[in-house]
Amino acid sequence: MIENTIMHTDLKLDGLESKYTGKVREVYKLQNNLLVMVATDRLSAFDVVLPKGIPYKGQILNQIATKMLRATEDIVPNWLISTPDPNVSIGKLCEPFKVEMVIRGYLAGHAARTYKKGLRTLCGETLPEGLKENDKLPNPIITPATKAEQGHDEDISRNEIISKGIVSEIDYQILEKYTLQLFERGTEIAEKQGLILVDTKYEFGKTNSGEIVLIDEIHTPDSSRYFYKEGYEALQQKELPQKQLSKEFVRQWLISEGFQGLDGQSLPEMKDDRIQSISERYIELYENITGETFTKASLDAISERIQTNLDTYFNNTYSK
């Protein structure tokens, strides 16, 4: 099973105009303003793609994202049209905004690491004194990041985004409103599952008609951090680490092996038992986030399965 992952695709699609390969996803741009997005089993951490895939990871991310997009489409329209394969989503072509709208309800991850260095301002947002790692913030804060084609995304403030013309002030106000509303909805969904949505990111784009829509994935363990609600307070009082539902466990493993994506650092070896444990953790994430039992898609000939499912979808949907 360890070897049966999808790391790359080479789909044959009618009307193909271009292909973009991201850290985890591969995006095919078709005629008629359509996108085919494949969630591979690649794993990225510290903006570096690890050398081996994680079984079922792409399916898990794609299916969580689909459920969450459907659960928030009353708040903001999104790009999604259909999911004809466990690893694939088809949606509307959009022009992405060149920022990620990161929102944080707790002092965790990057924010906590910044805070420990003595900094009390993050992306123009002032953090109060006296916080411990994983403490709840007085109010959720938006800490945007620029979207890097290669390498690390970088923190940026609201004022910088507007003053540099990255996003207009009118559009940014809309992105802020949507981000806060989505985080509130994500928090409600998580609470029903006994979870705390700690932080997450949203990406937006504009359709050809100028409509702002939600794009990419939302509320997945790759884009979000969750804590278990039960035991949270007790662990905080004892200043013990929280049990997380996110890929932070991958980052912590890499840090323990001396890797944080910095120059001169080498990736640790990914042994089969490590890959297996990460796969099992992703399945746990799926089941806890959605409240549903994970149904494993076949790992035999994944690329061929995807091609067949897409051929069937396009033949049935767009046949003359």
| CATH assignment of the domain containing 142 | 3.30.470.20
Residue 295 in tokens: 């149904």
Same domain, 210 and 116: yes
Quote the CA–CA distance of 113 and 105 in Å, as a whole number.
15
Q: Looking at the structure, do residues 228 and 105 belong to the same domain, yes or no?
A: yes
For residues 78 and 306, what is the distance between their CA atoms, to the nearest angstrom?
23
Res 252: pLDDT: 85
User: Do the domain assignments include residue 133?
Assistant: yes
The per-residue pLDDT for 222 is: 81
| Shared-domain flag, residues 256 and 171 | no
Answer whether residue 175 is part of any domain. Answer: yes
Cβ 109 vs Cβ 115: under 8 Å: no
Cα–Cα separations (whole angstroms), residue 301 to 209, 225, 306, 307: 39, 32, 9, 10
The sign one gets for the Cα dihedral 20, 6, 86, 248 is negative
Could you tell me if residue 1 is inside a domain? no
One domain for residues 271 and 142: no
Indicate whether 158 and 32 sit together in one domain.
no
The whole-model pTM stands at 0.88
DSSP-assigned beta bridge partners for residue 78:
214
Residue at 10 is within a domain: no
Give residue 74's domain range.
16-94+247-299
What is the structure's pLDDT at 229?
95
Q: Six-digit token pair at 131?
A: 């916080």
Distance CA 298, CA 151 (A): 33
Q: What is the pLDDT of residue 263?
A: 87
Question: At 309, which helix (H) or strand (E)?
Answer: helix 302-318
- Looking at the structure, tell me whether residues 180 and 260 fall in a common domain: no
Residue 8 lies in a domain: no
The stretches of 132-290 forming alpha helices (DSSP H) are 158-163, 169-192, 232-237, 248-256, 272-290
Residue 250 pLDDT: 87
Domain co-membership, 53 together with 122: no
pLDDT tens-place values along the chain, 320 residues long: 556 899 999 999 999 999 999 889 999 999 989 999 999 999 988 888 898 999 999 999 999 999 999 999 999 999 999 999 999 999 999 999 999 999 999 999 899 999 999 999 999 999 999 999 999 999 999 999 997 655 557 899 999 999 999 999 999 999 999 999 999 999 999 999 999 999 999 999 999 899 999 998 899 888 899 999 999 999 999 999 998 777 778 888 899 889 988 888 888 888 899 899 889 988 988 999 999 999 999 988 999 999 999 999 999 987 65
Same domain, residue pair 86 and 113: no
Give me the number of domains the chain comprises: 2
123 and 220 in a common domain: yes
**Domain presence at residue 320:** no
Q: Are residues 160 and 33 in the same domain?
A: no
The CATH number assigned to the domain holding 62 equals 3.30.200.20
Residues linked to residue 196 through DSSP beta bridges, in sequence order? 227
Q: Is residue 6 in a domain? A: no
- The answer to whether the Cα torsion of 63, 81, 146, 265 is positive or negative is positive
Pair 119, 203 in one domain: yes
Distances, alpha carbon 237 to alpha carbons 39, 137, 199, 262, in Å: 39, 16, 21, 33
Structure tokens, 39: 């969630």
**Which string of DSSP letters, residue by residue, matches 58-126?**
HHHHHHHHHHHHHTTTTTS-BSEEEEEETTEEEEE--EE-SEEEEEEEES-HHHHHHHHTT--EETTEE
For residues 34 and 110, give the distance between their C-alpha atoms in angstroms, rounded to a whole number. 35
| Residue 309 falls inside a structural domain | no
| Residue 166 sits in the same domain as residue 218 | yes
